[in-house]
Structure 1
Amino acid sequence: MSPITILLLSLSLSADAFAAAIGRGAVHRPTLSAAVRAGLVFGAIEAVTPVIGWALGLTAAGFVQSVDHWIAFGLLGAVGGKMIWEATRRESPDAAAAAPRSRGRLALVATAVGTSLDAAAVGVSLAFLGVNIGVVAVSIGLTTFILATLGMLIGRVAGSRLGPVAELIGGILLIGMGTRILLEHLGLITW
């Protein structure tokens, strides 16, 4: 997996956390240190979940090797489609900002886990591709930390209007990556 692909994957998987962080920042108006702590929670959880998916994928890799590219295409397409669906079906930013939200650490962890489940599904796909999961997980975690921290700070200032746009772009990128994997394995393109 090329460094550009790892970066695009990291940005795509960080889009959910970025969107959620913008919303939390709009509601909670965090200080810089609170935004960094939230970013660390999002980043750590987002780094662990693809490793879990990767381990599960390795377990099944021998059984599905002949169709692994179709599985990667399906999983990335489904996650990307879900992100696009959620980005286009959200309630208005004003209504989202007015909704009550919990301030506790448990709510933060639950939000981080919820936004990282797609990374577990992508991790399954990565097992079929033979990637260095350590490099990919660190990249995803670091990117998520940075974007979630920035999202909290942006949300504090700009409100929750930018979150759906980030999620939409992330979904499109994931579908593009899944399509590229499928086309490469079918021999229709070489990169």
Structure 2
Amino acid sequence: MNHLQTMIEILLMSFALGMDALSLSIGVGLSNIDRKTALQLCFSIGVFHVILTFAGLAFGNLVGYYLGQYAHWFGALLLMGLGVHMLYTSLFGKEETPKAMGNAVAMALFSASVSLDALSVGFSLGLRSATYGVVSAFSFGFVSMLMCGVGLFIGKKFSQSVGRYGEILGAVVLIGCGVKFLM
């Protein structure tokens, strides 16, 4: 695989993971949070995406060592399962959005819950290479931080109707990346 294909793959996964940040931030943006809190939330979501991806990478490397060639298949299936789960919750799940980001604990819990998908994706990436995983982790953090900011802006200016479609697109991209990992 050449470097351009690898970067495109990482960016697609980054945008797919960032869709949760985008859609949930739209709802938070509707509650008119101040600029300082919005910046803190964007940063927090970005940091949690990086940390949880690294945690998944470490676990994926460990499992990859013990399962050998079968670990690659397991990681691809996990990634596709995550996409299917995202798709199901986007279509049939209840949308829960916190009304306020009043304190650091609420913000950290919100950021961690939005970033939890990065743990599973990090696990799959840990079955590939360390460099690929590290570049992916920082890309996930940066893109999710930007998408959170975009979501807050959209939420402030528009309605929540965009959120669900973004999550569906993100789920389809994750499923596609999982299929690609199988090949």
TM-score strictly above 0.5: yes
Query: d(CA) in 2 for partners of 1:91 and 1:69?
Result: 33
Aligned counterpart in structure 2 of residue 35 of structure 1, from 35, 38, 45: 38
Contact 2:76 2:182 in 1 (8 A): yes
- Which deviates more from structure 2 when the two are superposed, residues 105-114 or residues 79-88? 105-114
Contact 1:90 1:164 in 2 (8 A): no
Aligned counterpart in structure 1 of residue 64 of structure 2, from 61, 66, 69: 61
In structure 1, give the amino acid aligned to 2:89: E
Aligned counterpart in structure 1 of residue 83 of structure 2, from 77, 80, 83: 80
Residue 10 of structure 1 corresponds to which residue in structure 2? 14
Matched, 1:176 2:176: yes
Residue 23 of structure 2 corresponds to which residue in structure 1? 19
In structure 1, give the amino acid aligned to 2:17: L
1:89 Cα deviation from its structure 2 partner: 1.6
In structure 2, give the amino acid aligned to 1:110: L
1:118 Cα deviation from its structure 2 partner: 1.2
Residue 161 of structure 1 corresponds to which residue in structure 2? 161
Query: d(CA) in 2 for partners of 1:20 and 1:85?
Result: 16
Aligned counterpart in structure 1 of residue 73 of structure 2, from 47, 51, 70: 70
Query: d(CA) in 2 for partners of 1:138 and 1:103?
Result: 25
1:156 Cα deviation from its structure 2 partner: 1.1
- For 1:7-58, what per-residue CA distance to the aligned partner results, in whole angstroms no more than 9, with x for missing partners? 00111111111111111111x2123333222111111111111100000111
Residue 186 of structure 1 corresponds to which residue in structure 2? none
- Gapped regions of structure 1 (runs ≥ 5): 184-191
Query: d(CA) in 2 for partners of 1:166 and 1:55?
Result: 29
Contact 2:57 2:122 in 1 (8 A): yes
Call closer, same or farther: CA 1:163–1:82 in 2, change over 3 Å: same
Report SS of the residue matched to 1:128.
coil
Q: What TM-score results when the alignment is normalised by the length of structure 2?
A: 0.89
Call closer, same or farther: CA 1:108–1:159 in 2, change over 3 Å: farther
Query: d(CA) in 1 for partners of 2:60 and 2:94?
Result: 35
Residue 125 of structure 2 corresponds to which residue in structure 1? 126
Residue 109 of structure 1 corresponds to which residue in structure 2? 108
- For 1:141-167, what per-residue CA distance to the aligned partner results, in whole angstroms no more than 9, with x for missing partners? 110110001111111111222111111
- For 1:144-191, what per-residue CA distance to the aligned partner results, in whole angstroms no more than 9, with x for missing partners? 1100011111111112221111111000000000001102xxxxxxxx
Identical residues among aligned pairs (%): 27
- Over aligned residues, Cα RMSD in angstroms? 1.8
Contact 1:83 1:167 in 2 (8 A): yes
Residue 44 of structure 1 corresponds to which residue in structure 2? 47
- Gapped regions of structure 2 (runs ≥ 5): none
- For 1:119-153, what per-residue CA distance to the aligned partner results, in whole angstroms no more than 9, with x for missing partners? 11111111111141221111111101100011111
Contact 2:27 2:155 in 1 (8 A): yes
Question: Which 4+ runs in 1 deviate beyond 4 A?
Answer: none
